[in-house]
Amino acid sequence: MASHSQKQNVEYLSIIMQEQPFMIDGHLDLSMNAMEWNRDLRIPISELNRREEGMHDKPDRAKATVTFDELRKGNIGLVVATQIARYVEHGSFLPGWLSPEQAWAQTQGQLAWYKAMEADGQLKMIRTKSELDTHVASWNNTKEDEKKPIGYILSLEGADSIVNLSYLEKAYEYGLRALGPAHYGPGRYANGTDSSGKLNQDGISLLKEMDSLHMILDATHLNDDAFWDALDRYKGPVWASHNNCRTFVDHNRQFSDDMIKALINRDAVIGVALDAWMMVPNWIRGTSTPKGTGCNMEIMANNIDHICQLAGNTNHVAVGSDLDGAFGKEQCPYDLETIADIQKVFPILRNRGYAEEDIQKIANGNWLRFMRGSLNLS
C-alpha cells in the first residue's frame, strides 16, 4: 500500500501534468549521449551530473539537462530521436569516422541502444500513424504512471553513414522515418553548416529514394545553396527539426526569412532550438555565458513569435530543443535547469497574447498534424 507521502507525490504530479501541455520535442540526440558521452539516461539528472564531476573530456560534463525522468516531468511524451555518425577524410578538423562503413556501424550501435531502452520500458518506437495515435492516447490517458515509455520517431542527422542507397532501404525497414542529408561542413550527399554548394549527384539520388519511401526530409543544417536545391527537388514532406531565425543571429546555421517563408509554403514545421549560440549574437564557445549574454527563455519565445508573424498564424512552429546536443547548461538559457523547463516558454507566450489553442499547437499540435500527414497509416 502506498504511503501518504507517495499518494501526495502522485497527486502533485497529476496536477503538474494537467497544467503543463503535452509536449513533443523535434530533436534530441539521445543515443549519442548514451553511447559517446556514456550517460545512463535512466538515472536521476542529479546523479548523472554528479558522476561527471571532475571530467574534462567534453565541455558539457556535469551540465546535462536530459534524462528520461526529466522528459516525463516536462510532460514530453514524444521526441524525434537521432542517429548520428559523420564520415570525414583523414586530417579533417571535424570529428568523425574514416569510412562510411564505420559510420554505419556507429549508427547500428545507437539503434541497439534504442532497442535496449524499448526492452527496458523507457522508450517506444513510432513508425506509423496508427502507432502514433495509440501512443499519444496512451500517454494522455495514463498521467499517473510516471514511468510510462516515451515515444520516439527515429531520424538520421547527416546522411554520411548511408553507405549506398540499399542501406537507406535497410534503415527504413528498421524504423528510420526522417533524414537530414547534411550536418556541419562537407558531406557525402550534401554540404551543411559553414559550407556551400548544391546537392551532388549522390544527394539527388538520395532524395529520389527518400521520396519513393515517403520519408521526411529534414532541412536543418543544409547550407543555403543545398537548402534551395533540396526544396526544389524534393516532393515529399519537409520539416526543420531544430532551427532558429537569422534575423536574431546572423549566421548561416539559422534560416533567413525567405527560407522560413518557403518552408511555410511547403506546410513544414520548424522546431525552435535552445543552443545559446543560435539564440544570441556573437556567442563565443567556452567564453560566453548564458547570463552574460542575457540568454533566457524569452529568446526562445522571440524565435517562435517571429516564425508565427511570418506565417500569419501559429501552424508552423514547435519545439526542437537539441538539448544536450554536445552542449549543456553552459550553453543554453540560464533559466533552464533541465529539459522539463521548456514548459516555461508557454506562460511567456500566454503573457504575449497567445491563446490556449495556439499554445497547444506549438507544444504538440503542429508536430502531430505533420506526423499524421507524413507517416504511413500502418
Angstrom CA distances, 332 to 231, 263, 290, 294, 323, stand at 30, 26, 6, 11, 8
Q: What number is the average pLDDT over the span 92-107?
A: 92
Nearest to 325 by CA among 123, 121, 82: 82
How far apart CA 189 and CA 200 sit, in angstroms, is 6
Angstrom CA distances, 56 to 45, 60, 95, 326, stand at 18, 8, 17, 13
CA atoms within 13 A on the CB side of 6: 5
How far apart CA 176 and CA 169 sit, in angstroms, is 9
Residue 7 has pLDDT above 60, yes or no: no
Domain boundaries, the chain: 31-374
pLDDT of amino acid 13: 41
Residue 282 has pLDDT above 70, yes or no: yes
- What are 298's three cell numbers? 524569452
pLDDT, tens digit, for every residue of 13-57?
443 444 899 999 999 999 999 999 999 999 999 999 999 999 999
How far apart CA 159 and CA 375 sit, in angstroms, is 20
Q: Name the CATH architecture for the domain at 31-374.
A: Alpha-Beta Barrel (3.20)
pLDDT of amino acid 144: 57
Q: What is the CA angle 277-283-288, rounded to 5?
A: 110
pLDDT, tens digit, for every residue of 350-368?
999 999 999 999 999 999 9
- Residue 45 neighbours by CB under 8 Å, 6+ apart: 64, 65, 66, 67, 69, 70, 338
Backbone angles phi, psi at 77, to 5 degrees: -100, -5
- 76 forms beta bridges with 23
How would residue 185 be classed by pLDDT, with cut points 50, 70 and 90?
Answer: confident
Residue 68 has pLDDT above 70, yes or no: yes
Within a 10 A sphere around the Cβ of 7, how many other Cβ atoms?
A: 11
How far apart CA 123 and CA 148 sit, in angstroms, is 8
The percent of residues in the chain predicted with pLDDT above 70, rounded, is 94
What does the chain come to in residues? Answer: 378
Residue 260 has pLDDT above 70, yes or no: yes
pLDDT of amino acid 19: 80
- 216 forms beta bridges with 178
Q: What number is the average pLDDT over the span 126-140?
A: 96
Tell which wins on pLDDT, 184 or 146.
184
Residue 124 has pLDDT above 50, yes or no: yes
- Residue 247 neighbours by CB under 8 Å, 6+ apart: 256, 257, 306
Tell which wins on pLDDT, 2 or 140.
140
Longest CA–CA span in the chain (Å) reads 65
Q: Which amino acid is at 361?
A: K
Mean pLDDT score across all residues of the chain: 93
Backbone angles phi, psi at 235, to 5 degrees: -105, -10
Nearest to 188 by CA among 167, 174, 169, 212: 167
Residue 244 has pLDDT above 70, yes or no: yes
For 191-337, strand residue ranges (E) read 216-218, 238-239, 270-272, 317-319
- Which three-class secondary structure state does DSSP give residue 177? strand
pLDDT of amino acid 96: 85
H helices, E strands: number in the chain: 15, 9
- Residue 217 neighbours by CB under 8 Å, 6+ apart: 178, 179, 180, 181, 207, 210, 230, 234, 236, 237, 238, 239
Q: What number is the average pLDDT over the span 195-205?
A: 95
Q: Are 275 and 331 in contact (CB under 8 A)?
A: yes
- 157 forms beta bridges with 180
User: Which position has the grid cell 515517403?
Assistant: 214
| H/E run at residue 26 | strand 23-28
